[in-house]
A and B are shown apart, each in its own frame.
Chain A
Amino acid sequence: MGTETEYGIIAPGLPSANPTLLSSQVVNAYAATLRQGLGNLAGTRWDYTDETPLTDARGFRMDRASAHPSQLTDEPAELDAEQIALERGGSAEVAVLMNLVLNNGARLYVDHAHPEYSSPEVTNPLDAVLWDRAGDHVAVAAMDRIASTPGFSPVILYKNNTDSKSVSYGSHENYLVPRSVPFSHLAEALIPFFVSRQVICGAGRVGRGPLNQEPGFQISQRADFFENEIGLETTVRRPIINTRDEPHAVAEKYRRLHVIIGDANLNEVSTYLKTGTTALVLALIEQSLAPVPVLEDPVGALRTISHDSSLRATVRLADGRSMTGLDLQDLYCEAVLRALPADADDQTRDVVERWQNLLTTLRRDPADASRQVDWIAKLKVLEAYRARDQLDWTDPRLALVDLQYADLRPDKGIYSRLARRGEAELLVDAAAVASAAVEPPQDTRAYFRGRCIARYPAEVVGASWDSLIFELAGERRLQRVQTREPLRGTAALTAELFDRAADAEDFLAMLLSGPERRVAP
């Protein structure tokens, strides 16, 4: 699995700055910190060869001409070079990077108008938390670098999903699912799960409606921006289930479930349960053991649940029953418990136990879960302000608390402040996060990617989720190594190769003399 975060971005000193330009500053600032610490680092071109954003998991392909321009994610972002030169005061000497592949196997790049960090592939939710937080660490390093560079106006990054005016940007999750599971089975069981999942991991939002038409609080940042049940789009007419069929792996064996409905979480327990419970429900679906509480109106139910922080609002099922978001989550949690094998690993048991305990706490009094759940922590601060200063929901200070909760500057961010006061439960320590920003996970192909980038920065000229491109000095031909098996290229399979190889040439020679040429071990 893995997570993607599109960060909100502003430069308060440059109110009309081009957001694509600001985003490229983030990528380039982080590259500069790497160059400083690790010697020369070339920007890594993204290898788009295997990207197919218009292939639909339901078995057809969208016509390029009818796609919204933002759906064409297999084309690099373009930035007008003259514009950059102008904004930099006339000097465009340094090449502007729009994409970096990091030593930890992640991708940091400009995604339209936002900087995006896509985490390396991991095998479990605790690692998902660690490498997701590593992205925030990278974001903070980039902000610091920009702030300390003469001539640059400080940039602030926010880990949120809306500007509460009309715009939303995503925080996606990806799960590797066997191709043999029919997509319709995934969709029918996941829709009610995703509609209700926000109660355990929503990030909270001040304002209601996509245009913020109505004052008030709601559980989810994203709920009001979804209009469809199933579809290919991610930027317009957003669907609860995204059908983009771009596995970045052996397509005959796997699909990549691209989840676009989640909120970006600051709270580590929220990220842990968001990814952990979803992985467990996917395992249920694979075994045909998942409940399917068909909702009469899933898009409406998503909003109804999000707009009720008391968690008592009910939504109608197709069979006429009414259930709350907690009732729906209980159904899934109970089914997971029933199916839990006797030899389940410790982390799986931990996720299930926390999920169960959290649902019990939320039923008793949601306020008791403020250390584990972003929307509750945010609401607690908002309610305290409302009580102390008699503010109503239209007061801009409440909107500012909402925004500043997600401010990634450690001194300014309200989540950071809460965490430092012990009012947010932490699962990973700061040293581990710093290390995850430069070290890949050991047990996926991200290890191979990250080590190649770290070890052979001059020779690796391109990379993607499922390939690395080498260019050896004195050779005209590029060598493309495929990494289409997400669970290969691990430390166990390739660490020795990295140790033995004297240089990139030697490394490639050993790799290409292996049993499967051009494929990572």
Chain B
Amino acid sequence: MATQDRSTTSAASSAAAEDDVTEPAVAAPAAQDSAQTQGVDDLLDEIDGVLESNAEEFVRGFVQKGGQ
């Protein structure tokens, strides 16, 4: 039952969630764009805060042995 509920709302809820981040109701396209840009900037700021500090060295250090 629960899975059925999710299925019928999944497409709608993903759209709705993005709308929540932007402006409600009748935001003009330009306003929506800037709100989305704001959201992306905010996301990148958050990720900047947690990214390992020396990207080149860290990536180079991630060496694995073979697996399946």
Contact = CB atoms under 8 A, between A and B. Distances in A.
Given A112-B67, A164-B59, A384-B40, 16 more contacts: A10-B61, A10-B63, A111-B67, A113-B65, A114-B64, A126-B3, A165-B63, A165-B64, A169-B67, A234-B68, A235-B66, A372-B10, A384-B43, A395-B55, A417-B50, A427-B6
Interface residues of B, number: 33
A405 to B, nearest CB: 10
Contact of A397 (B8, B17, B51): B51
B65 to A, nearest CB: 3
Interface in A226-283: 234-235, 260
A162 B59 CA distance: 12
B40 to A, nearest CB: 5
A33 interface: no
Nearest to A234: B68
Nearest 5 Cβ contacts at the A-B interface: A169-B67, A113-B65, A350-B7, A170-B68, A396-B56
B1 interface: yes
A163 B50 contact: no
B67 A6 contact: yes
Contact of A417 (B3, B11, B40, B46): B46
Contacts of A63: none
B24 to A, nearest CB: 16
A518 interface: no
A401 B48 CA distance: 10
A112 B66 contact: yes
A411 B50 contact: yes
Given A346-B3, A353-B7, A397 B55 contact: yes
B64 A9 contact: yes
Interface in B15-33: 17, 20
A172 interface: yes
B64 A401 contact: no
A346 to B, nearest CB: 4
Given A19-B64, A126-B3, A165-B63, A372 B14 contact: yes
B11 to A, nearest CB: 5
Given A113-B67, A417-B46, A396 B62 contact: no
A121 B61 CA distance: 36
A414 interface: yes
A168 B56 CA distance: 20
A425 B50 contact: no
Contacts of A357: 10-11
Contacts of A15: 61
A163 B4 contact: no
B68 A172 contact: yes
Nearest to B1: A346
A476 interface: no
A19 B43 contact: no
Contact of B44 (A354, A385, A423): A385
A350 B2 CA distance: 10
